Amino acid sequence: MNVEFSQLPFPVALINQAFKVIQFNESFKNIFPNAEVDIDVREFLPKYDNEFDYQLLMNESYAEHLFIKNPYTKEQYILIGTKSDGFHKLKKELKDIEAYFEEVYEGLYITDAQGVTLKTNKAIERITGIPKDYYTGKNVSQLMERGILKNSVTQEVVKTGKTVSLVQKNHIGNITLLTGSPIKNKKGEIEKVVTVIRDLTELNRILTENSHFYHEKDNVQIDTSDNGVIIKNKQMKTIYQQARRIANFDATVLILGETGVGKDVLAKFIYNNSNRKEKGKLVKVNCGAIPRELLESELFGYEAGAFTGASKKGKPGMFELADKGILFLDEIGELPLNLQVKLLRVLQEGEIQKVGSTKVQKVDVRIIAATNRNLHEMVMRGEFREDLYYRLNVIPLYIPPLQERRDEILPLIHHFLSKFNKKYLLNKEFDYEMMDFLISYHWPGNIRELANLIERLVVTTPQDKISLEHLPIEYKKSIKENTNQPISLKDAVEETERKLLEKAAKKYGNTYEIARALKTSQPTVVRKLKKYNIKPKSNE
């Protein structure tokens, strides 16, 4: 050993390219008493990696010595050891993170931007049945060639630069949900892709079994006993918490949201959680479904002999029926202007006047109104009274479309499948491609559409396993769109028709208005709505 080397107050060793120790000093020997010339340095430093010229090496027990490797001569490297206090802490943190990574229940899978697997955890073995080491160093395209993966989330993430989800059946038949996310550097380039793999069948079970605790933990007492309301999404929980808080104030609630998002369900929840439940009924009126001429007498009732054909005894209106309870005015945007004035009066004075009567009558009714239309814009266009709008909009609750709470899709699929299986005494299942479709579809008709499709599939599929081939034509089109396959003229026409009807059904409350807007006859509208399974409010 050179003089300079032996005198250095920290551990130093010289090695050659074959990892053999050439020289070392006292200090090195103190740390590694077994050190000998010609010994393979990897016996002491198992983390040794010859790929880089400059690197940190740790000794076997992750002890406090870090070794830095530098080129010394052309064929030799020098290893310089350093003691680090901070390293102890770092080492522990690293170990904690590693342990977490290893033990977490979901499968974790990290690749570089080229798709080469860098790291996986223990759960991968449970989910895929393949030892985790098998994956390391392999490219996802290799795994696809070998049939271990069907589609690659990683490749899709690299291609799109976005988080991507995918359901697939893996080679041992487990149905898994894969969610891949890009990890980008400061320049915005993808450096790694992290994929979380969940076993869907298992997840379904956990979600259903735990749904009760889920609510309790968050302090939302959601009465799911009678109608099986599924609330999993964070935003939805906040809405329901808010609804629960205001359930006993008599202020008017305005529930906003697209068709089929669960406005009725929320109105029922408010009623069920209010004291009014003990004293009065929840009465629902769909303002868009009742012909305009009849709406006034439906709402306010009529006196005996008020008009030709009226019952001799007269008839109580919905306000009277809801006395001491709650009147739920659905599709409030469809309320004609003359009735808007009357409603305003009830809200202000708490009084109603029956059709054909001169007397006013006190009622104690709380109003919950709902609409899928933009009332504010209607006010601007003069179609809705501004004073009534402000009177209704005391507590607005907005329910986001299913598209914006995709985490509820899976529990809802599970919920409806078991609900309709029970209802029809069947035992249907979805195969994984069907599951993939249901999870990734955009659901313009929201929860109602999801429920309707599942019911239809359960009832009409002869086999126990429901697969993509059983999908109604209008849905098949959406799959074709995704795979860029050509479609027939007939399919294209039907698709356009369906889209137009869907739009119109959202905008107009009844089939007469839809027919007028689409310049066709009302029977045609009824027939087509049936064909595409689009339900106008009046059919519910």
Ligand X SMILES: Nc1ncnc2c1ncn2[C@@H]1O[C@H](COP(=O)(O)OP(=O)(O)OP(=O)(O)O)[C@@H](O)[C@H]1O
* Residues within the interface to ligand X (CB under 6 A): 228-231, 257, 259-265, 330, 372, 447-448, 451, 537
CB of 203 to ligand X, least distance (A): 18
Output 176 or 372, the one with its CB closest to ligand X: 372
Q: What phi, psi does 330 have (nearest 5°)?
A: -80, 155
Nearest one of 9, 12, 10 to 1, comparing CA atoms: 12
Contact 331, 287 (CB under 8 A): yes
Output 198 or 263, the one with its CB closest to ligand X: 263
User: Which residue has the closest beta carbon to ligand X?
Assistant: 262
Output 264 or 303, the one with its CB closest to ligand X: 264
CB of 373 to ligand X, least distance (A): 10
SS (H, E, C) 95-126: HHHHHHHHHCCCEEEEEECCCEEEEECCHHHH
Place of tokens 């050993």: 1
DSSP assignment of 382-426 equals: TSS-HHHHHHHTTEEEEPPPGGGGGGGHHHHHHHHHHHHHHHTT-
CB of 261 to ligand X, least distance (A): 4
* Count of positions (residues) in the chain: 540
CB of 380 to ligand X, least distance (A): 22
Output 11 or 257, the one with its CB closest to ligand X: 257
DSSP assignment of 443-504 equals: -TTHHHHHHHHHHHHHHH-SSSEE-GGGS-HHHHHHHHHHHT----HHHHHHHHHHHHHHHH
CB of 134 to ligand X, least distance (A): 41
Output 117 or 446, the one with its CB closest to ligand X: 446
Contact 417, 208 (CB under 8 A): no
Output 154 or 372, the one with its CB closest to ligand X: 372
Nearest one of 289, 335, 259 to 509, comparing CA atoms: 289
CB of 128 to ligand X, least distance (A): 33
CB of 341 to ligand X, least distance (A): 24
DSSP label of 32: -
CB of 449 to ligand X, least distance (A): 9
Output 232 or 476, the one with its CB closest to ligand X: 232
Residues of 364-381 as b/e, b for ≥16 C-beta within 10 angstroms?
ebbbbbbbbbebeebbee
Output 133 or 226, the one with its CB closest to ligand X: 226
CB of 242 to ligand X, least distance (A): 15
Determine the Cα–Cα distance for residues 335 and 350; give it in Å rounded to an integer.
Answer: 19
DSSP assignment of 34-92 equals: T--TT-BGGGT-TT---S-SSEEEE-TT--SEEEEEEE-SSSEEEEEEEE-HHHHHHHH
Determine the Cα–Cα distance for residues 250 and 64; give it in Å rounded to an integer.
Answer: 68
Output 355 or 504, the one with its CB closest to ligand X: 504
CB of 164 to ligand X, least distance (A): 26
Output 12 or 261, the one with its CB closest to ligand X: 261
Nearest one of 298, 369, 297 to 331, comparing CA atoms: 369
